């Protein structure tokens, strides 16, 4: 719709109409980008009574709300912005507002989902089929009874109605808003062909136009179905475990933080949480693209929408369903499908102006042929073509159908493929910019490394008692949930170390752990714990750990030792960086870690440059310096401290749905399940999408240029112009669909 069109205030009027019919509702808060809606009531109100009515109102105004346009509300109502949300409320006193109870509702199905359910392409295909059948019947009738042209027209007329039905609906809606587009052009050419008695060519035009429209809808429907699999994985009910072990089935919307929920084999996890009891494996393929089941045990995270495979699991809710990983992903995808790339916005603006230009050129050609070339104005002379016929042909071959579709069809297909394979794009702009990236800045911890420490060795003083050190560390750390403790416990179990029972276990806040074993006091903690004791002078002479290592000291009656740990480098990082260099992309590490630790990782991975010891502000400065150096910069990070530099980069990439909310808010591309190799998939996909967009533009513009030149010389019959125009549209759609089914952009190692 035109921003200045008269319907710009319809969304306000629609919501006011809703409030007038619902006296129990005082205000409505809508955030279309996050797909959240809430209503304010005074006291308890039965929500089901008006939820359907509100859903109708939102469905009617969603597209306008997304644009964030604020208009003046009618008397008695106020309209304001609340962060990213729009609030429409009845005028009331401040005291009344304090009594409002805000209650969140389920966001209704979006327009895209409604179209997906209806499968509009099936209706368009049916209409195109009826048009084609009527056209064939009309041609046959013309051959059988050439002396009775009305018999052929009896078949042609319903064929024209079927073929032009969808274009007529769109044209009528546009004309009411004072706009015209390519649908108007097609109907005008068809009407003109009928006026010069070219019924068969008019039917051919509308048949090819309607079948190409069905192809376009099929392509869009296919991309939506790729994403809708995520929506279907969202569970509707959950089994809550109350104190005492009583089970209760509740709707997922009723789950509360820290509740314990039981998930049986074959069921989906209803929210994000941490496993409290049980062992199993989950199928996270719909969420992350990971084909291999992920083992789950006590302390492991679980994610909404993933499937519990074989064992019953109890987990504690850590995020409400509305804020779960699955819902974040769904909102990201829905937002991405609405955000247009710069080139896509250009073609959208270009399409309307170009339509007027085509109509003007056709009128000029008609007048030139009639007045200058002295062609017959309407009736085709024997062996020639009238000025009106040539003008109609020009309108067909110059119409921008394929041009307008060339970019959005490829962008939507790329977004859908990425969503199903662990790469989430926040709109087409990210796809376009990522294709041109020539510098990639990466955080170290949690990006190039896993962020999980692993034991690489044990030392004892005196030497030779390393296994005893590990046994004591295992006994103490088995009682702790600290990340260092989990790493030591995991390593001890893998080494087959026996777990020994402690007495008088105690956690020393900020220092370490203490316990008794066989009557002997044990201590575990940092070096400072050892240096403050009676062995302090001796401890200060012990060799320090390497800069890239962490150490945990263990003190027994006649034994001192330490466990050395190191942040694990992602196994895939080396291959990803090697591939980026082969593509001509420069790699730079930006980290707040110590220089020695950062350089050790950089040497092992082969990074081009390292900048260590950086504060968040210094990371932002480094991104700006890289940009000023002439490069298009992508930043890959995962933590809260990475959010500022993600915002400063040309393309921001966050590691996984498990990354911090601050990083995800800034990210334009999200790599699911913390898989760094998905960055390569995103890079390949964006470059392939760019190539297909260029191919589509070349096809669309090439056909227009060739056919317009041929038409100017009068060498193109209308039927050939129709076939070339609609054929290029179909080719563009099919070419874009190659992105959806392509196999050469899969993540590395998958």
Catalytic residues: 443
Q: Which residue has the tokens 């939506």?
A: 224
Q: For the purposes of burial, counting CB atoms within 10 Å of the CB of 526, is it exposed (0-12), middle (13-18) or buried (19 or more)? A: middle
- The beta strand positions in 128-246, using DSSP E, are 237-241
Structure tokens at 213: 């429209």
**Spatial distance between the Cα atoms of 160 and 156, rounded to a whole number of angstroms:** 6
Structure tokens at 181: 């587009």
**Spatial distance between the Cα atoms of 122 and 155, rounded to a whole number of angstroms:** 23
Residue pair 9/71 in contact by the 8 Å Cβ criterion: yes
Residue pair 393/717 in contact by the 8 Å Cβ criterion: yes
**Spatial distance between the Cα atoms of 612 and 61, rounded to a whole number of angstroms:** 49
**HSE value, Cβ hemisphere, 13 Å, CA-based, for 641:** 17
**Spatial distance between the Cα atoms of 164 and 170, rounded to a whole number of angstroms:** 10
**Spatial distance between the Cα atoms of 18 and 28, rounded to a whole number of angstroms:** 10
**Spatial distance between the Cα atoms of 493 and 478, rounded to a whole number of angstroms:** 10
**HSE value, Cβ hemisphere, 13 Å, CA-based, for 444:** 29
Structure tokens at 405: 């579709």
List alpha helices for 368-478, DSSP H. 387-397, 401-406, 408-420, 428-435, 466-477
**Spatial distance between the Cα atoms of 581 and 438, rounded to a whole number of angstroms:** 10
CA 585 to chain centre: 24
Helices (H) and strands (E) in the chain, counts: 26, 27
Torsions phi, psi of 669, nearest 5?
-130, 135
Distances in Å between the Cα of 220 and the Cα atoms of 58, 120, 174 are 23, 10, 22
């Amino acid at each position: 719709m035109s921003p200045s069109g008269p319907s710009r205030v319809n969304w306000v009027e629609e919501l006011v109409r809703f409030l007038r019919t619902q006296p129990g509702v005082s205000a409505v808060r809508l955030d279309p980008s996050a797909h959240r809606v809430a209503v304010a009531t005074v006291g308890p109100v039965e929500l089901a009574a008006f939820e359907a009515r509100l859903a109708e109102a939102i469905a009617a105004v969603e597209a306008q709300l997304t644009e964030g346009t604020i208009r003046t509300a009618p008397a008695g109502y106020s309209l304001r912005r609340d962060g990213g949300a729009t609030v429409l409320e009845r005028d009331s006193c401040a005291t009344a507002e304090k009594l409002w109870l805000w209650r969140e509702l389920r966001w209704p199905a979006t327009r895209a989902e409604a179209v997906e359910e209806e499968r509009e392409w099936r209706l368009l295909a049916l209409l195109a089929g009826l048009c084609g059948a009527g056209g064939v019947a009309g041609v046959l009738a013309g051959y059988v009874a050439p002396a009775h042209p009305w018999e052929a027209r009896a078949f042609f007329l319903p064929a024209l109605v079927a073929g032009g039905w969808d274009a007529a609906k769109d044209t009528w809606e546009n004309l009411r808003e004072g706009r015209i587009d390519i649908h108007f052009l097609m109907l005008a050419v068809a009407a003109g062909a009928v006026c010069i008695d070219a019924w068969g060519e008019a039917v051919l035009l509308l048949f090819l136009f309607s079948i190409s429209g069905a192809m376009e809808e099929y392509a869009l429907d296919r991309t939506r179905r790729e994403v809708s699999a995520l929506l279907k994985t969202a569970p509707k009910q959950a089994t809550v475990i109350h104190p005492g072990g009583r089970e209760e089935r509740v709707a997922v919307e009723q789950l509360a933080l820290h509740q314990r929920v039981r998930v049986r084999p074959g069921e989906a996890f209803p929210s994000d949480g941490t496993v409290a009891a049980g062992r199993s494996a989950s199928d996270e393929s719909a969420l992350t693209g990971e084909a291999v089941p992920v083992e789950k045990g006590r302390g492991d995270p679980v994610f909404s929408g993933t499937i519990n495979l074989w064992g019953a699991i109890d987990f504690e809710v850590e995020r409400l369903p509305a804020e779960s990983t699955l819902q974040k992903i769904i909102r990201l995808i829905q937002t991405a499908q609405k955000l247009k790339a710069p080139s896509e916005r250009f073609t959208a603006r270009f399409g309307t102006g170009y339509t007027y230009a085509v109509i003007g050129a056709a009128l000029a050609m008609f007048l030139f042929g009639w007045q200058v070339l002295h062609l017959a104005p309407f009736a085709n002379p024997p062996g020639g073509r009238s000025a009106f016929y040539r003008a109609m042909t020009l309108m067909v071959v110059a119409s921008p159908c394929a041009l307008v579709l060339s970019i959005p069809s490829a962008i939507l297909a790329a977004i859908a493929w990425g969503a199903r394979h662990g790469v989430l794009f926040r709109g087409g702009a990210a796809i376009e910019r990522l294709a041109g990236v020539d510098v990639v800045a990466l955080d170290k911890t949690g990006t190039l490394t896993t962020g999980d420490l692993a034991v690489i060795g044990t030392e004892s003083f005196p030497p030779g008692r390393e296994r005893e050190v590990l046994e004591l560390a295992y006994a103490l750390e088995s009682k702790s949930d600290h990340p260092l403790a989990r790493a030591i416990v995991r390593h001890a179990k893998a080494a087959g170390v026996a777990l020994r029972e402690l007495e008088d276990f105690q956690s020393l806040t900020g220092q370490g752990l203490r316990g008794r074993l066989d009557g002997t006091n044990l201590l575990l903690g940092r070096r400072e714990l050892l240096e403050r004791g009676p062995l302090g002078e001796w401890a200060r002479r012990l060799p320090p750990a390497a800069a890239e290592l962490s150490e945990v000291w263990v003190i027994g009656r006649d034994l001192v030792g330490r466990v050395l740990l190191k942040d694990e480098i992602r196994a895939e990082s080396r291959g990803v960086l090697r591939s980026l260099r082969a593509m001509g992309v420069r790699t730079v590490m930006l980290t707040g870690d110590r220089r020695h630790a950062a350089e050790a990782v950089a040497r092992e991975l082969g990074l081009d440059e390292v900048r260590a010891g950086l504060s968040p502000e210094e990371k932002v400065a480094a991104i700006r310096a890289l940009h000023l150096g002439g490069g298009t910069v992508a930043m890959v990070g995962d933590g809260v401290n990475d959010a500022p530099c993600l915002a400063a980069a040309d393309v921001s990439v966050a590691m996984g749905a498990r990354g911090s909310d601050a990083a995800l808010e800034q990210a334009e591309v999200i790599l699911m399940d913390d898989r760094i190799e998905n960055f390569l998939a995103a890079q390949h996909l964006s470059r392939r999408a760019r190539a297909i967009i260029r191919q589509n533009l070349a096809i669309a513009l090439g056909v227009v240029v060739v056919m317009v030149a041929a038409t100017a010389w009068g060498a193109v019959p209308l039927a050939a112009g129709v076939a070339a125009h609609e054929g290029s549209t179909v080719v563009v759609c099919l070419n874009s669909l190659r992105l959806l089914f392509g196999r050469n952009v899969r993540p590395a190692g998958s």
